[in-house]
Amino acid sequence: TLLGIMSIPENVTIYHFGQQFCTYLFAMSLAVSGVFSPSFHKLIAEEKRDEVNNLFLKISEIQTIILTLVAFGFLSCGKDFIIMWLGKDREGVFIVGVVLMMIELCPLTMNSSIEIQRAQDKHKFRAFVYFFVAIVNLVLSIMFLKIFPSEYAIEACLLGSLIARIVSHWILMN
Nearest to 103 by CA among 160, 174, 169, 32: 169
pLDDT on residue 4? 86
What secondary structure does DSSP assign to 94-119, as a single string? HHHHHHHHHHHHHHHHTTHHHHHHHH
Region of 121 please: left (phi>0), alpha (psi -120 to 50) or beta.
Answer: left
Task: Indicate the pTM of the whole model.
Answer: 0.86
Write the burial class of residue 124 (CB in 10 Å: 0-12 exposed, 13-18 middle, 19+ buried). Answer: exposed
pLDDT on residue 27? 93
pLDDT on residue 70? 93
- Per-residue pLDDT for 20 more than 80? yes
- Per-residue pLDDT for 116 more than 90? no
* H or E element in which residue 21 lies: helix 9-35
- Per-residue pLDDT for 174 more than 80? no
**How far is 37 from 111, CA to CA, in rounded Å?**
11
Residue type, 85: W
* H or E element in which residue 72 lies: helix 49-86
